[in-house]
Structure 1
């Protein structure tokens, strides 16, 4: 088994698409559903498949993100460069942090238009992509 993608319900599809494309996602395709609902599948250019789905259900009303969801983590190559790019695109990432100390990962946070939190992570040199069992040894 493997995780296919994360799915977020969004209040304003155009606003959310503008945010996520500024973050670097590209649109793979859309599915039109009954009642004006839509699914939009996104990925980063170097990903072979969808990694994020935006679900717009206008009849369901505004999104409430305070119901248990915490955050989405996204790996970046060079966090400082990514923060500059996002700031130039009009997004407001938080300052770079070193939560594991100076030799650990670099992180920053930003929040999408509906309030979903996103953690941007740059791993230290030599660290594998993602968190593995070795991180807990």
Structure 2
């Protein structure tokens, strides 16, 4: 088994698409369901498959229930500069594992979902593995 993607319930699909495309996602496609719900399927350009789905259901949307999604970046400082220039408001850089650990910054989307941007230290394998906890 493997995780395919995260799906967020959003209140305004266009507003959320503007936010996530400014973050760097690209839209692969949209689906409209029989009940009027609309889905937008997104991925980062270097990813081979969809990793984020935005779901808008007519008649009101209850958001929340998700703490955050973590996104790996190659160069956090450059990413934060680009996001700020795009009108987004990332938080200052943090070092949750100390100065030798990962660099992180937080961002909040229009519906209040939190996004953790992570730059791994040199030599750290991509993603979290058992080795990170030993």
Fold match by TM threshold 0.5 = yes
Match of 2:63 in 1: 64
Distance 2:34 2:61 in 1: 18
Match of 2:132 in 1: 135
Q: Structure 1 stretches of 5 or more lacking a match? A: none
Superposed, 1:113-132 pairs within 5 Å as 113-132=110-129
Q: CA deviation at 1:37?
A: 1.3
Aligned-CA RMSD value: 0.9
Instruction: Give the structure-2-normalised TM-score.
Output: 0.97
Match of 1:22 in 2: 22
More displaced 10-residue stretch of structure 1: 108-117 or 29-38: 29-38
Does the 8 Å contact 2:27/2:42 carry over to 1? yes
Give SS of 2:74's match.
coil
Q: CA deviation at 1:35?
A: 3.6
Does the 8 Å contact 1:63/1:114 carry over to 2? no
Match of 2:48 in 1: 48
Match of 1:6 in 2: 6
Give SS of 1:82's match.
helix
Distance 1:15 1:64 in 2: 15
Does the 8 Å contact 1:25/1:42 carry over to 2? yes
Instruction: Give the structure-1-normalised TM-score.
Output: 0.95
Q: Does 1:90 align with 2:87?
A: yes
After TM superposition, the runs of 4+ consecutive aligned structure 1 residues lying more than 4 A away are none
